[in-house]
Copies of this chain bind each other. A is one copy, B any other.
């Protein structure tokens, strides 16, 4: 557990128990719709967590032994958990070690240290917990002090689970996020089929560009009706452009006739269209840039997406966003949150950009950088140029539901350490730090995502 003393400890105490605002992540809305118990400790803690199994795979543990994919579906969850426990030492020094320890001790009440020897005993303890009502998704949501939790949902998602939640009368606030990459990016193998599907879902004629835009507007409205306040885009290379006649390219790509350049140009144009729709409907736009997906083709073929082989690459936010920003970047009310995996862009690009454009806010340290040292580097490199008010606070971006309190806790510790350092160095005084602590803990996130209710 990351230790705090002195000023840091007292700043942390002031924000430790504040409600959790979780405006971006990948939890499954089905959990909260059905409120069914989580099946078993391995399915809860190992199988869905690519941070965990990528590390095991990197040290030679086959994914199928970890219950991943078709090949792993009949593997005994207890043996998965044992394998994880046996290799627990590999995680020393990683944020997963902190998160998992937090989950085991704080959330699941496990006191024994995880190891090959204690694996079975801990497995049983957790399995027993999971049968209790207090460990069902909605109960945990309450216990975690979550104020609002956003999921991430494809543009073609029927949002039935979100509808169920809305209809249920439950006091929790779980909202969708509009992630339309599958219907915007022609390089997606399913793009053409998705466009057809989009027509079926909306009743719009997506064979025309205007019908396609109308369908997108309709989907955005549907998401908004179910509580969405934001959209999200995951793109590898940052590229935007404004096409004079997008319909020409749309027709070409819809026929499957476009080149890679055509696809990139069209997708770049659609990001600007999305920004313009955000101006209209007020949905906050997010761009997660620079992850090269599925770099291990064998793993993709055998086990599917999101299996630990997504690797960051260098990106160019400045030239990449130029077309979009020059079209809507000065428009009041437009808000665009940027997430980077290329830390070199913190001080070089994102902080200067967010310190100028009214629409921009810098997202928190993302993915591999959502860690103690990653948080320290983030503050070190963004604050001097962007200040605090151009930041978008924290989000956990996780599909590991149980890790949410752990991740917010790590952030709050990182905030406390950073503010203590600022006070010690004389950058500002303790009174300033005490005002900034809750801002960074959840106010900035709530405001950036327009989640104040």
Q: A292-B318, A295-B325, A330-B299 are in contact. Are A349 and B384 (CB under 8 A)?
A: no
A310 CA / B385 CA spacing, docked (Å): 13
Within 8 Å CB of A369, what residues of B? 347
Within 8 Å CB of A299, what residues of B? 330
Q: How many copies does the complex hold?
A: 3
1/0 contact string of A352-373 vs chain B (CB within 8 Å): 1111111010000000110111
Minimum CB–CB distance for A152 against chain B, Å: 21
Cross-interface CB contact of A428 among B54, B92, B314, cutoff 8 Å: B92
Cross-interface CB contact of A384 among B351, B371, B390, B427, cutoff 8 Å: B371
| Chain B CB within 8 A of A170 CB | no
Determine if A360 and B58 form an interchain contact, defined as CB atoms under 8 angstroms apart: yes
| Chain B CB within 8 A of A48 CB | no
| Chain B CB within 8 A of A203 CB | no
Residues in A79-131 with C-beta less than 8 Å from chain B:
90-95, 97-98
| Chain B CB within 8 A of A242 CB | no
Minimum CB–CB distance for A54 against chain B, Å: 5
Determine if B426 and A389 form an interchain contact, defined as CB atoms under 8 angstroms apart: no
Count contacts on A: residues with CB < 8 A to the other chain. 80
Minimum CB–CB distance for A402 against chain B, Å: 20
Q: A319-B292, A348-B341 are in contact. Are A58 and B426 (CB under 8 A)?
A: no
Minimum CB–CB distance for A405 against chain B, Å: 18
| Chain B CB within 8 A of A213 CB | no
Residue in B closest to A326 when the chains form the complex, CB atoms: B297
Residues in A145-193 with C-beta less than 8 Å from chain B:
none
Among A296, A319, A358, A427, residue most surrounded by chain B Cβ atoms (within 10 Å): A427
Residues in A1-31 with C-beta less than 8 Å from chain B:
1-3
Q: A3-B425, A357-B296 are in contact. Are A348 and B314 (CB under 8 A)?
A: yes
Within 8 Å CB of A356, what residues of B? 54, 57-58, 296, 308-309, 311
Cross-interface CB contact of A388 among B93, B325, B358, B424, cutoff 8 Å: B93
Determine if A368 and B347 form an interchain contact, defined as CB atoms under 8 angstroms apart: yes
| Chain B CB within 8 A of A142 CB | no
Determine if A390 and B58 form an interchain contact, defined as CB atoms under 8 angstroms apart: yes
Among A356, A383, A426, residue most surrounded by chain B Cβ atoms (within 10 Å): A356
Q: A309-B356, A314-B348, A355-B54 are in contact. Are A385 and B298 (CB under 8 A)?
A: no
Within 8 Å CB of A313, what residues of B? 316, 318-319, 348-349
Determine if A316 and B318 form an interchain contact, defined as CB atoms under 8 angstroms apart: no
Within 8 Å CB of A97, what residues of B? 427-428
| Chain B CB within 8 A of A312 CB | yes
Determine if A383 and B93 form an interchain contact, defined as CB atoms under 8 angstroms apart: yes
A358 CA / B425 CA spacing, docked (Å): 37
A428 CA / B316 CA spacing, docked (Å): 37
Determine if B312 and A387 form an interchain contact, defined as CB atoms under 8 angstroms apart: no
Determine if B90 and A311 form an interchain contact, defined as CB atoms under 8 angstroms apart: no
| Chain B CB within 8 A of A381 CB | yes
Residue in B closest to A93 when the chains form the complex, CB atoms: B383
Within 8 Å CB of A95, what residues of B? 384
Residue in B closest to A312 when the chains form the complex, CB atoms: B348
| Chain B CB within 8 A of A281 CB | no
* 25 A-B contacts (beta carbon < 8 Å): A54-B355, A55-B355, A58-B355, A58-B358, A58-B390, A60-B332, A60-B358, A92-B387, A92-B388, A92-B427, A93-B422, A95-B384, A98-B427, A295-B326, A297-B326, A311-B349, A312-B349, A313-B316, A341-B348, A347-B368, A352-B368, A372-B425, A372-B427, A373-B381, A373-B383
Known: A59-B389, A351-B368. 5 other contacts (CB 8 A): A54-B355, A296-B357, A311-B353, A311-B356, A343-B347
Question: Which residues of chain A have a CB within 8 Å of any CB of chain B?
Answer: 1-3, 54-55, 57-60, 90-95, 97-98, 292, 295-299, 308-314, 316, 318-319, 322, 325-326, 329-330, 332, 341-344, 347-349, 351-358, 360, 368-369, 371-374, 377, 380-381, 383-390, 422, 424-428, 432, 436
